[in-house]
């Protein structure tokens, strides 16, 4: 056992390695999904594949490493690996997320011995499949979603395997960009292996490996202590996916979490059978949603590593929406994972109401536009991801314009889009009245209107929360539902399906209207000053304030009339 100071020094050094890998990936990437949205994450593991450090990027991508690394260490013995090797894979049925998320993993060595692995995962703008961008909803089989790679060495002892690269290039529409992003992943790993070897050179193998083992045990102890402080019991909740893009019927996520002393069991086995469309959640994605939520509620300050997962048992049933069987399609799996996280938050709200939020946007709106650039004649693929906001919190409003649970994606700046693609962003704004009313208001929804400057252009997408609104909590009202509208405010205005693949014409406008988020607590308990501030900021309208907060608004000053409000709430009629 190391002393606490040494353990923490090694911990933060390991986290810094993961973060530096992420910075390298973002700086060297080619696609806006990497450079702007930062749909990436990086990890450091021990030789057994246990996660010891995660980068501060996208938590939804990381739990998959746990399952993927188990497969990798079974498939590759230490003697099968050499410095400069890089293994890639994206198979959702071997620990992957979906086909568009490619894992890259490299062994790290010190003095000729394997000391661990560094890995990253990145969403790519294209990896083949029926739709450019790989994000079309309603696909029925995984074979149609894109190139699915088993574990394979793309780099062998520092030399790129031309045959593997040729196979990848032959299956995708814009190989230069995708291969550039894969090479950015590789450059990130080379930084990681060098930094990890340097860490071992400074402190020695025994010190680092002992510190890592102690760190995992420390995180486990913190999680067990946090679980032991929760009331024992079984807590249940459910949520619904609007549809699967094939059948127009909802899909139920049913969740039970049982807390017993210092351990917890999260059971999703009563959830609906797997979908015909591609809204199914891979097992890695399901685990990620559960681990993220449990850590956030039980002990958000515990170092997030494999030790945190030890006290948590995940129970699923094969062939369900939370644990599908091949060849079930999974590209739109965030429709399910967000509902798993939401259900778990709502279940835990019964035990610890002061540690959870009301319902967030609860989905990811992912779009892929592909066509020909009229200036260059080259094919372009523009992938954009829109998240949403978070629900009202126990002591404050939801954060407007900030993505919530699991992905934590960054905004894609208008300038970055318009500089690279034949696209114009006509509107990018908050939608008033879209946040659920409550003692603390849910965050507002975003609207992003995208005008096409070329055509024809394919428009692949998946989104959700357009039928089932984000839930309020403890009397809070639901947030607004989302929508996708073609050519808004024109005679040809059309409400589009949330999960589909269509062709658009030059000049068409796609209006992405994201869901809002639910309110927390009784709206009648909201401070009048907060209502007035929202009115002045045009986050709510007077009509919304009067209807949902049960107040009387002075329209000339946009303030709450306390006397008239008191009379209204008491059932009396104010004098005219």
Checking phi first, is residue 341 left (phi over 0); if not, alpha (psi -120 to 50) or beta?
Answer: alpha
**For 74-92, what is the mean pLDDT?**
97
Query: Model confidence at 575, in pLDDT bands (50, 70, 90)?
Result: very low
For residue 61, what pLDDT is reported?
62
Burial letters 317-334, b for 16+ CB under 10 A, else e: eeebbbbbeeebbbbbbb
SS3 (DSSP) at 218: helix
Query: Model confidence at 57, in pLDDT bands (50, 70, 90)?
Result: confident
Strand order in the sheet with 40-45: 51-54, 40-45, 113-123, 101-110, 86-89, 152-156, 159-160
Asked, as a colleague might, if the bond just before 456 is cis with ω within 30 of 0, I would say: yes
For residue 502, what pLDDT is reported?
96
- Within 13 Å and on the Cβ side, how many CA atoms surround 344? 31
Domain boundaries, the chain: 4-220, 357-524, 528-570
Angstrom distance (rounded) from CA 33 to CA 409: 9
**Residue 50 in this model has a pLDDT that exceeds 60:** yes
Instruction: Name residues whose C-beta falls within 8 Å of residue 37's C-beta, 6 or more positions apart in sequence.
Output: 123, 384, 385, 409, 410, 411, 412
For residue 64, what pLDDT is reported?
67
pLDDT digits (tens, 9 = 90+) for 114-165: 999 999 999 999 999 998 878 899 999 999 999 999 999 999 999 999 999 9
Taking CA atoms, 4 is separated from 7, 10, 11, 231, 462, in Å, by 5, 10, 10, 30, 47
**Residue 397 in this model has a pLDDT that exceeds 90:** yes
**Across the chain, what does the average pLDDT equal?**
95
């Amino acid at each position: 056992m190391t002393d606490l100071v040494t353990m923490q020094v090694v911990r933060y050094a390991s986290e810094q390695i993961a973060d530096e890998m992420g910075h390298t990936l973002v700086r060297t990437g080619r696609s806006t999904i990497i450079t702007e949205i930062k749909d990436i994450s990086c990890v450091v593991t021990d030789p057994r594949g246990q996660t010891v450090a995660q980068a501060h990027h996208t938590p939804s991508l990381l739990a998959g490493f746990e399952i993927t690394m188990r497969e990798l260490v079974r498939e590759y013995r230490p003697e099968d690996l050499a410095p400069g090797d890089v293994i890639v894979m994206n198979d959702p049925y071997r620990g992957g997320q979906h086909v568009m998320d490619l894992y890259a993993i490299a062994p790290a060595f010190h003095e000729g011995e394997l000391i661990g692995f560094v890995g990253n995962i990145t969403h790519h703008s294209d990896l083949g499949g029926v739709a450019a961008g790989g994000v079309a909803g309603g696909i029925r089989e995984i074979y149609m979603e894109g190139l699915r790679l088993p574990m394979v060495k793309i780099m062998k002892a520092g030399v790129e395997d031309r045959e593997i690269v040729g196979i990848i290039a032959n299956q995708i529409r814009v190989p230069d960009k995708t291969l550039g992003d894969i090479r950015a992943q590789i450059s990130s790993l080379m930084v990681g292996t060098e930094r990890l070897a340097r860490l071992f050179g400074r402190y020695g193998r025994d010190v680092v490996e002992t510190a890592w083992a102690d760190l995992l045990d420390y995180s486990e102890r913190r999680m067990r202590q946090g679980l032991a402080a929760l009331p024992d019991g079984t807590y249940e909740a459910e949520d619904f996916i609007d549809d699967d893009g094939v059948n127009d019927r909802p899909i139920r996520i049913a969740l039970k979490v049982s807390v017993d002393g210092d351990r917890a069991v999260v059971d999703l086995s009563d959830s609906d059978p797997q979908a015909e469309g591609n809204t199914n959640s891979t097992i890695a994605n399901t685990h990620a949603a559960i681990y993220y939520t449990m850590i956030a509620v039980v002990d958000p300050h515990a170092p997030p590593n494999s030790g945190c997962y030890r006290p948590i048992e995940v129970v699923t049933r094969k062939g369900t929406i939370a644990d599908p069987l091949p060849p079930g399609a999974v590209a739109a799996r965030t429709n399910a994972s967000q509902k798993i996280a939401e259900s778990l938050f709502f279940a835990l709200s019964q035990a610890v109401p002061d540690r959870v939020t009301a319902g967030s946007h609860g989905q990811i709106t992912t779009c892929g536009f592909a066509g020909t650039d009229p200036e260059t004649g080259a094919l372009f693929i523009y992938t954009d991801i829109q998240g949403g906001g978070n629900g009202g919190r126990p002591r404050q409003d939801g954060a407007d314009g900030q993505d919530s649970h699991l992905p934590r994606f960054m905004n894609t700046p208008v300038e970055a889009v318009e500089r690279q693609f034949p696209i114009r962003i006509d509107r990018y704004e908050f939608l008033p009245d879209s946040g659920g009313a409550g003692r603390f208001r849910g965050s507002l929804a975003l609207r992003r209107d995208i005008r096409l400057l070329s055509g024809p252009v394919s428009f692949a997408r998946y989104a959700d929360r357009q039928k089932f609104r984000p839930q309020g909590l403890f009397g809070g009202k639901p947030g607004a539902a989302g929508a996708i509208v073609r050519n808004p405010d024109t005679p040809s205005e059309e409400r589009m399906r949330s999960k589909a693949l269509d062709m658009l014409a030059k000049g068409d406008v796609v209006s992405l209207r994201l869901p809002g988020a639910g309110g927390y607590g009784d709206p009648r308990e909201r401070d009048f000053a907060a209502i007035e501030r929202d009115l002045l900021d045009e986050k709510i309208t007077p009509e919304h304030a009067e209807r949902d907060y049960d107040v009387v608004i002075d329209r000339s000053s946009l303030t709450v009339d306390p006397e008239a409000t008191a009379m209204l709430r008491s059932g009396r009629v104010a004098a005219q």
